[in-house]
Structure 1
Amino acid sequence: MSGRRVVSFPSSVELGPVLAHLVACRAAKAISSHGRFSLGLSGGSLVSMLSKELPALPQLDCSKWVVGFCDERLVSFDDPESTYGLYKNQLFSKVNIPDSGVLAINPSLPVEECAEDYTRKLKETFPQEDIPMFDMLLLGMGPDGHTCSLFPGHPLLEETEKIVAPISDSPKPPPQRVTMTLPVVNSARCVVFVSTGGSKATVLKQVLEGGEGPVLPAALVVPTHGELLWLIDDPAAASLTLQVERPGPGAKL
């Protein structure tokens, strides 16, 4: 797989600042190239990591950022399960991303209409592109190998027409969600997975090195023209036999 980099850090403590610097550098590059930086966010441990590390960067200017969500749970914004709500409270309140630059779902709509509404927002934000091309997507991976709200064995893995799809039977609660589909994920200029902790070691080996059984959703993320980076820590990398990069202290990607 050309273009894939697997980079391991001693722990998430060392990983976090490198991720923040990578985001800021790609933002500056995108703004210089085409006037804005489009970023897709995921929930989980990424929320606290980014909320700690991005505001700590000196002179970070997010005024030309456009931020969307790789998936979202269909709950109210004040629900602790809301990815938007978590970022709003922990990150957006600390940086100068304009309100107009945050693409959030409308959680008051039924799940099918919510997906259609979010699709419309993406199409308005990326009017020149049949499939939105984000500058960077930040993804996590569940212990079952799912990413976004694309779960093993689910029909949505085969979706090729929709850019945002509803899901009403998520095996992980809450059951109703909307998610970017694989065509959008694989159109991004840069996809960064962040996966840490020893509990991810077995599934990470299967995703990165293959093995018995069907291909897991995270392994289906293969950007068509973009970069793919896996940022992991040593506990998550414990079972890998492939060569991984191990940058020294203070290194930048």
Structure 2
Amino acid sequence: MSAANVERRVAATKADLADAIAERLREVIADAVASRGVAHVVLTGGSMGEASARALAPLDDIDWAHVHLWWGDERFLPTGDAERNETQARVVLIDVVGVPAANVHAMAASDGPDGDDLDAAVARYRDELATVAPQFDIVMLGMGPDTHVASLFPGHATTRVDDTSVVAENDSPKPPPQRISLTFPALNAAREVWLMIAGADKADAVRAASGSTDRTAHPASGVHGRERTIWWLDEAAAGPGA
């Protein structure tokens, strides 16, 4: 991964990290709304996605009427399933702050208009992206211990896709097997990409991905913002010398 425009920000604890991310996200949203009238933010799931969204909710000076929310990936499960990233975000953020329904761009559920047709659900999100044509201000991503980001897993064919914005994953190594994911071109079109990582169990993955240029072997190494890439880490994930 190129070190150009890559920042590393380390907080003492996971809670401190979530607070720092929320404060910076508030600033980015405010700047985007002031400059362009709208902010487009890509949310993520996982423990850091939940922690940062929960920390964001009490910040009452965010103009949510001008914020559009998207997702980097989603588990292809029924609406309201607790394992869906959308469900998590609704519980801790969206329903708490009252984001307008038209501003919430969730990936399709398996009981949605396309039923259990994953390819149709992928095409629906791809079409929505093409219609709205958002310029993502922030793409927020977690990272697994295997260095996967979104639902782009090491060694999978999806890590080599460059000709479309959204792909289906039918064989996720962690359940559920069926998922929808943005591709590297879609993620990397964002102004900023943030990798948000906490816990000692991620320290080896942080070292591996931050020192790699092989996005198929280490997908986290393949994501970068057009203007800035930030690795948000707690001390445990950052490892010795943080």
| In structure 2, C-alpha distance between the alignment counterparts of 1:36 and 1:166, rounded to whole Å | 29
| In structure 2, C-alpha distance between the alignment counterparts of 1:51 and 1:190, rounded to whole Å | 17
SS for the counterpart of 1:20 is helix
**Identity of counterpart residues, as a percentage?**
29
- Pick from 199, 210, 217 the counterpart of residue 219 of structure 2: 217
Aligned twin of 2:11 = 9
CA contact (8 A) 2:213 2:221 kept: no
SS for the counterpart of 2:50 is helix
Aligned AA (2:235): D
Shift of 1:209: 2.3
Give the number of the structure whose residues are more often helix, by fraction: 2
- Pick from 115, 118, 121 the counterpart of residue 114 of structure 1: 121
For 1:124-203, list aligned pairs within 5 A: 124-126=131-133, 132-203=134-205
Aligned AA (1:18): A
Runs of 4+, deviation exceeding 6 Å: 211-214
Aligned AA (1:232): L
| In structure 1, C-alpha distance between the alignment counterparts of 2:155 and 2:198, rounded to whole Å | 24
The answer to whether structure 1 residue 123 and structure 2 residue 125 are counterparts is no
CA 1:211/1:29 → structure 2, altered by over 3 Å: closer, same or farther?
A: closer
SS for the counterpart of 1:138 is strand
Q: Give the TM-score, by structure 1 length.
A: 0.88
| In structure 2, C-alpha distance between the alignment counterparts of 1:190 and 1:12, rounded to whole Å | 21
CA contact (8 A) 2:90 2:96 kept: no
Q: Give the TM-score, by structure 2 length.
A: 0.92
The answer to whether structure 1 residue 228 and structure 2 residue 235 are counterparts is no
53-62 or 188-197, which deviates more: 53-62
| In structure 2, C-alpha distance between the alignment counterparts of 1:48 and 1:180, rounded to whole Å | 19
SS for the counterpart of 1:235 is helix
Aligned AA (1:59): D
| In structure 1, C-alpha distance between the alignment counterparts of 2:216 and 2:49, rounded to whole Å | 30
Aligned AA (2:181): T
CA contact (8 A) 2:170 2:177 kept: yes
Aligned twin of 1:251 = none
Aligned twin of 2:78 = 76
Give RMSD over aligned pairs: 1.8
| In structure 2, C-alpha distance between the alignment counterparts of 1:19 and 1:47, rounded to whole Å | 10
Q: Give unmatched runs, 5+ long, in structure 2.
A: none
| Deviation by residue 1:75-123 (Cα, 9 ceiling, x = unmatched) | 0122111111111122111113110000012223211000000111111
